[in-house]
Amino acid sequence: MLVGTSLKMYFTHARTVEWTRTVAAGLRERSLDGVEPFVIPQFPSIPACLEAARSSGLAVGAQDVATHDAGAFTGEVSAAVLAEIGCRYVEAGHAERRALFGETDDIVAAKADAALRHGLTPIVCVGEPDRGDPARAIDHCLDQIRAALCVADAADRDGEIVIAYEPVWAIGAPEPAGVDHIRAVCSALRDAPPARPRRRRVIYGGSARPGLLPLIADTVDGIFLGRNAHEPSAFEAVLDDAASLG
């Protein structure tokens, strides 16, 4: 069961490293068979987080990645470098990057492919923009998944994919999407036949919080936390939820 969090741009570097040290220390004291925790900090904090997480089982990812591997792309960070320093995951297609930075389906597909060709696992974020019935959400998300993976599929790229279902209307909201809605959408995303055989896991984000995972566990492969994991104790509570599921 995957349990992860993106810290976005909320923390200072010092707080990011302290959060990681605290969670890593807790992980070293826990028995969490079958639970795979990860954290996604800002770029400058990644090396220190990798060091703080060493020997704890806490994986580290990146919030973005360049579409190219090398060259004159000022300000970009390549999948090659992220893999070189020890990252495992890369986000692609988050709703905020689509809305704030104009990322298109083509860009998301190029980023997912860049991650896969360097052995990273892309966390492909999908979600419908407006609250509605599960059937409409499923159709929208399946379209997003097909678009996000079309380049990698055409290249016959191997590797694992994580699909993060984050309904846009639930991101930053007081409550996550309803349990029945989450279960319906995530079940459909898990069961949909992929265009190319590869390991694919589905996790839920969008104001996810402690206590939610046990209610949806049979329809997801994990949970993706945001602000509700800013306190290490809250993240650890979700880890314990995951461990209790066996």
Residue pLDDT, tens place only, 39-88: 999 999 999 999 999 999 999 999 999 999 999 999 999 999 999 999 99
What are 109-145's pLDDT values in tens digits? 999 999 999 999 999 999 999 999 999 999 999 999 9
Provide the pLDDT for residue 246. 74
Looking at the chain, list the stretches that DSSP marks H as alpha helix, in order from N- to C-terminal side: 13-28, 46-52, 79-85, 95-101, 105-117, 134-154, 179-191, 213-216, 232-244
Closest to 205 (Cα-Cα) out of 34, 5, 1: 5
Vertex 69: Cα angle to 101 and 17 (nearest 5):
65
d(CA 231, CA 74): 34
Asked if 57 and 239 count as a contact pair (C-beta separation under 8 A), the reply is no
Q: What is the CATH number of the domain that holds 213?
A: 3.20.20.70
Which residues have CB under 8 Å from 118's CB, separation 6+? 69, 78, 79, 80, 82, 83
Provide the pLDDT for residue 130. 96
Point out which residues pair with 161 in neighbouring strands: 200
What are 159-190's pLDDT values in tens digits? 999 999 999 999 999 999 999 999 999 999 99
d(CA 216, CA 237): 16
What are 191-245's pLDDT values in tens digits? 999 888 899 999 999 999 999 999 999 999 999 999 999 999 999 999 999 999 9
Provide the pLDDT for residue 3. 98
Q: Which two tokens stand for residue 162?
A: 């994580």
Provide the pLDDT for residue 19. 98
Provide the pLDDT for residue 31. 85
Question: Is position 94 annotated as part of the catalytic site?
Answer: yes
Q: Which two tokens stand for residue 190?
A: 């898990």
Structural domains counted in the chain: 1
CA torsion through residues 100, 103, 105, 110, sign = negative
Is this structure's pTM higher than 0.85?
yes
Closest to 95 (Cα-Cα) out of 109, 108, 111: 108
Asked if 75 and 49 count as a contact pair (C-beta separation under 8 A), the reply is no
> Could you say which of 91, 166, 181, 236 is catalytic?
166
Vertex 144: Cα angle to 124 and 103 (nearest 5):
70
Provide the pLDDT for residue 197. 82
Provide the pLDDT for residue 4. 98
Provide the pLDDT for residue 196. 81
d(CA 79, CA 28): 29
Which range, of 3-12, 25-34, 136-145, averages the lowest pLDDT? 25-34
Residue-range definition of the domain harbouring residue 150: 2-244
Q: CA separation (Å) from 154 to 66, 195, 210?
A: 19, 10, 39
With H, G, I as helix, E, B as strand and everything else as coil, classify residue 96. helix
